[in-house]
């Protein structure tokens, strides 16, 4: 029995006859049918909690008092920036509007002050670096800060947050940025001081994704910590229905499975938001989302990752083209095909030869994939850095490119000792056919993507079988890490994704299969650069390190970059403020300045 059969996976077949009717694979209409079906197939009425009341202004109602209705692709597990337990799918936009931190990242992923009056500057009294590598950063908070319940927010709330997040029962002390913090002090109510045991590049703002250091309301959680410990706090309703933050909007009502209502926080650090109320609708059905947008019942769509090709085209043709609104595509996740490089798991072993991996890369027509899957609007990836990311240009300079070139692919296979047989498929010196599995996670776009890829590779001479990992197994860390050949999936882009490809992040039985380096790849040069990158403070030097690491990674090719999976952002013409942002940032970073006409 194969590993796929053993874990209950499903295999997807293909129709060879169809490949002859399309110059690359098969007709566009067939691919569209594979993806999601069409909007016409949807029910005429909204569903899945997406039905909402319109927000047209009533008699005498000013635009500032109108409710901005936003559909998001699912309910967040928590609206806290950082939680103590796994809380399910996070929604960055929902998190952004309820929380505030020392700083936040603007549309270009540059840090700007939020709760802090100004951010520490390297090599000044506010950011001191000592000869032994220790650091000390000092943050001056804005005066008169408050929590949503009106209680004062002071530096003591950050000290309390450090105490909670680094508590032994929580297990977060070893995660960034806590791992590098040795002490957090509040010498004055408006002065926060952090002492660091090692250099930490993000110490200036502490706002990078997955590396935030938010304050916690000491007046709400202190007694629970002292009486019941961190376990009691972890189960506190504060993390969900009774959340109290300091962001631009305060929680008014949370109807599980349906919506969240919020009102503008008049004491927000950067000023009272222009839009008086926001209603966040949880909508998993992409057809219902589009129907509500077209009906005018939803004014904005945020973080809908897999809206669907036909649904997106409907918004483009029937809404944006008529001047009703604007559609943006945010690059959120890095999509790539990862090769299994551990001898104990890999099959076929030929994938351990970089020439074979490069041959596969050269025989993949990404432009055709883009045309069919994304109507030519996808963002092709050459590395884990998107063009709009903070290090995007540096990465593109050194990334080894693999343009579609079947002849080059065949030459690389010949160099590796593989020739096409009578059946047109590559076989090794012993005559054994090079047969490999291409796995993906369940999902309309993902499944269509690997179906197209596998068909293209078969035409190029590779015996590829598709395999879909069922949703029930998608959280099984061992199954995810022990794929036999190739696994196409999305993961964190940018520098956070780049530093995952080190030996200590290889999933093993000893570490309970945790870690993002599922390919099992390591390179001594890359290891040295990654360790240095994590502690380098000079931004110019970090740019050079990214350039070198991307060059090593793309030359070795443990993963072949495909596209940056995008999140759909759509908003009516009367909403001013949302713009395209870098992949490290979030479209809601300036939500307090949005204006709804």
Q: Which CATH class is domain 333-565?
A: alpha beta
User: Is the Cα torsion angle 391, 397, 399, 404 positive or negative in sign?
Assistant: positive
Q: Homologous superfamily of 39-73+247-324+573-596 in CATH?
A: Periplasmic binding protein-like II (3.40.190.10)
What is the three-state SS of 324-374?
Answer: CEEEEEEEEEEEEEEECCCCCCCCCHHHHCHHHHHHHHHCCCHHHHHHHHH
Domain 100-220 has CATH 3.40.980.10: no
pLDDT recorded at residue 47:
36
pLDDT recorded at residue 202:
92
Query: What are the start-end ranges of the E strands in 215-315?
Result: 249-255, 259-264, 277-282, 300-304
pLDDT recorded at residue 65:
60
Six token digits for residue 75: 């309910």
pLDDT recorded at residue 445:
82
Give the mean pLDDT per block of 10 residues along the chain (597 residues).
37 35 35 36 35 38 70 90 65 90 92 96 95 96 98 98 89 84 97 96 89 95 89 87 96 95 98 97 89 94 76 88 90 91 97 98 94 82 88 94 97 96 92 94 90 96 96 92 97 92 96 94 97 93 97 98 88 94 88 96
Q: Per-domain residue ranges for the chain?
A: 39-73+247-324+573-596, 100-220, 333-565
DSSP annotation of 316? I
CA quadruple 310, 316, 321, 325: dihedral, nearest 10: 130
Question: Is 39-73+247-324+573-596's fold the same as 100-220's?
Answer: no
CA quadruple 75, 78, 81, 82: dihedral, nearest 10: -130
Q: Locate tokens 């540096």: which residue?
A: 394
């Amino acid at each position: 029995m194969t590993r796929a059969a053993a874990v209950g996976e499903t295999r997807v077949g293909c129709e060879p006859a169809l490949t002859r009717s399309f110059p690359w694979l098969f007709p566009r209409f067939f691919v569209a049918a594979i993806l999601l079906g069409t909007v016409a197939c949807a029910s005429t009425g909204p569903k899945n909690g997406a039905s909402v009341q319109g927000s047209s202004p009533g008699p005498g109602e000013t635009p500032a008092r109108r409710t901005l209705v936003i559909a998001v692709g699912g309910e967040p597990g928590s609206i806290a920036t950082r939680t103590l337990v796994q809380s399910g799918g996070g929604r960055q936009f929902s998190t952004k509007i309820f929380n505030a931190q020392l700083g936040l990242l603007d549309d270009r992923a540059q840090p700007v002050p939020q709760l802090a009056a100004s951010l520490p500057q390297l090599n000044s009294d506010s950011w001191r670096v000592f000869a032994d590598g220790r650091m000390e950063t000092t943050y001056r908070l804005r005066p008169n800060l408050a929590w949503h319940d009106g209680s004062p927010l002071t530096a003591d709330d950050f000290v309390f947050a450090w105490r909670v997040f680094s508590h032994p029962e929580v297990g977060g002390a070893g995660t960034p940025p806590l791992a590098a913090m040795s002490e957090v002090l509040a010498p004055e109510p408006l002065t926060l001081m952090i002492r660091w045991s090692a250099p930490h590049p993000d110490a200036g703002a502490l706002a990078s994704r997955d590396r935030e250091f938010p304050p916690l309301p000491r007046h709400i959680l202190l007694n629970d910590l002292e009486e019941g410990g961190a376990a009691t706090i972890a189960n506190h309703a504060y993390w969900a229905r009774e959340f109290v933050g300091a962001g631009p909007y305060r929680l008014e009502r949370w109807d599980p499975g349906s919506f969240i209502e919020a009102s503008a926080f008049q004491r927000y650090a950067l000023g009272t938001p222009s839009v008086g109320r926001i209603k966040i609708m949880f909508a998993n059905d992409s057809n219902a989302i589009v129907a509500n947008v077209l009906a005018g019942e939803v004014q904005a769509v945020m973080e809908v990752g897999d809206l669907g090709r036909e649904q997106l085209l409907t918004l483009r043709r029937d809404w944006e083209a008529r001047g009703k609104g604007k559609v943006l595509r945010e690059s959120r996740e890095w999509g790539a095909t990862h090769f299994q490089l551990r001898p104990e798991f890999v099959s076929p072993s030929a994938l351990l030869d970089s020439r074979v991996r490069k041959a596969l890369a050269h025989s993949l027509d990404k432009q055709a994939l883009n045309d069919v899957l994304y109507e030519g609007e996808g963002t092709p990836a050459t590395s884990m850095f998107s063009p709009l990311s903070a290090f995007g240009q540096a990465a593109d300079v050194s990334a080894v490119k693999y343009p579609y070139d079947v002849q080059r692919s065949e030459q690389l296979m010949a160099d590796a000792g593989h020739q096409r047989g009578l059946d047109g498929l590559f076989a090794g010196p012993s005559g054994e056919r090079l047969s490999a599995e291409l796995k993906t996670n369940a999902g309309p776009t993902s499944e269509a993507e690997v179906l197209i890829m596998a068909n293209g590779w078969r035409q190029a001479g590779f015996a590829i079988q598709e395999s879909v990992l069922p949703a029930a197994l998608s959280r099984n860390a061992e199954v995810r890490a022990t794929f036999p050949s190739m696994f196409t999936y999305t993961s964190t882009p940018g520098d956070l994704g780049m530093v995952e490809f080190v030996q200590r992040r290889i999933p093993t039985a000893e570490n309970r299969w945790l870690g993002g380096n599922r390919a099992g790849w390591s390179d001594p040069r890359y290891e040295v650069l990654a360790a240095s990158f994590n502690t380098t403070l000079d931004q110019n030097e970090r740019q050079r390190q990214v350039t070198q690491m991307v060059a090593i990674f793309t030359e070795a090719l443990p993963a072949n970059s495909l596209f940056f999976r995008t999140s759909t952002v759509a908003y009516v013409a009367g909403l001013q403020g949302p713009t395209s942002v870098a992949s490290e940032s979030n479209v809601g970073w300036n939500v307090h300045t949005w204006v709804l006409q």
